Amino acid sequence: MILTSLLVASALRPIGHIETIFQSKFGTPRQGGLAPDSRATLTLDPAAVGGDAAGALDGLSQYSHVWLIWGFHLHADAPARAKISPPILRGRKVGVFATRAPFRPNPFGLTLVGLDRVDGGTLHLSGVDLVSGSPVYDIKPYLAEWDAPRDPALVGQAGSAVSSLAADQQALRVVVSDSARAGIRGLGLARGGLIEDEAQLERVLTQCLASDPRPVYRWRKQQREGGAAEYDLNLDSICARCRFEEDGSVTVVSVAAAGS
């Protein structure tokens, strides 16, 4: 009762809003580890951390990874669901707490990301699965000796239908067309951005598409109707046109600056 009163009395507010290469839900990886070349920055709001953003991050640079506790802001008004159909299960439902789906009683996400460097009050991160603009509520260092079960036997016992299927799922074969590569070269990518060179962009495209970003309803529709289906994948200020083929492969048809 006392704890509940304290939580209500204290205003839950973000410590910052993350900037990532992902501009929409479609194409954002379901786990950050699926796209290790995805980059992000998180600049803390000094007012949310006692007036000293750099001070709040002092000592964090000694860690290789950090946990982000963040909000599914694009699902904030969505009703909570008791059972969820994760894309990996292709229509089969399990309890919401056996998944990491965004349709939750409280729309909080938890992601382990790589910490590339700390620059004053800003974190430079990699391996992210957050849409740009997502509110971040807390940061905690990853401690390998405590965050992973110490008994390897316990890890196997914790396996679920979802994790087992995820491990067995074959990655989609991604083909980057010659016209797409020409479009990538024409972007004039410059170092210092979240996508800073052609090789990184091609790797990120491949990583995001190989894990099949299509939601279940789109996958089902294509299974029923057959044929290829095309979608736009927006990364940073770049739009990639991608075609999901009947044979299970994906072709990156074209790449251009968004809006061009």
CATH of the domain at 83: 2.40.30.70
Residue 170 has what pLDDT?
67
- 10 within a domain of the structure (yes/no): yes
154 within some domain? no
CA gap 72, 251 in Å, rounded: 30
Whether 96 and 223 share a structural domain: no
Domain that holds residue 21: 2-147
Place of tokens 């973000």: 14
The torsion angles phi and psi of 131, rounded to 5 degrees, stand at -70, 140
136/203 same-domain check: no
Query: How sure is the predictor about 156, in pLDDT bands with cuts at 50, 70 and 90?
Result: low
- Average pLDDT value for residue range 14-18: 97
Same domain, 129 and 185: no
Residue 95 in domain: yes
- Domain shared by 126 and 210, yes or no: no
Query: The whole model's pTM is what?
Result: 0.85
For residues 138 and 16, membership in a common domain is answered with yes
pLDDT digits (tens, 9 = 90+) for 25-53: 888 988 888 899 999 999 999 999 999 99
pLDDT band, residue 175 (cuts 50/70/90): very high
pLDDT of 20 over the 60 cut: yes
Are residue 126 and residue 18 in the same domain, yes or no? yes
Question: Do 11 and 114 sit in the same domain of this protein?
Answer: yes
Asked if 178 and 139 sit in the same domain, the reply is: no
Is residue 129 in a domain? yes
Pairing status of strand 173-176 against strand 108-119: unpaired
> Do residues 176 and 139 both lie within one domain?
no
**Bigger pLDDT: 223 or 19?**
19
Is 253 among the domain residues?
Answer: yes
Same-domain check for residues 121 and 248: no
Q: Tell me, yes or no, whether 160 lies in a domain.
A: no
165 is a domain residue: no
Encoded tokens for 133: 């603009």
Specify whether 121 is located in the same domain as 42: yes
For residues 103 and 195, membership in a common domain is answered with: no
Q: Is 176 exposed, middle or buried (0-12, 13-18, 19+ CB in 10 A)?
A: buried
**Among the three residues 104, 132, 147, which one is the final residue of a domain in this structure?**
147
Instruction: Tell me if 188 is assigned to some domain.
Output: yes
The mean predicted confidence, pLDDT, of the chain is 86
CA distances 103 to 57, 112, 147, 198, 248, Å, are 31, 20, 25, 35, 28
- Give the Cα separation of 43 and 46 in Å (integer): 9
Instruction: Give how many domains the chain has, as a whole number.
Output: 2
Summarize the confidence of residues 203-221 as an average pLDDT: 87
The CATH code of the domain that includes 201 is 3.30.2310.20
Q: Residue 99: exposed, middle, or buried by beta-carbon count in 10 A (0-12, 13-18, 19+)?
A: buried
The DSSP bridge partners found for residue 139 are 68
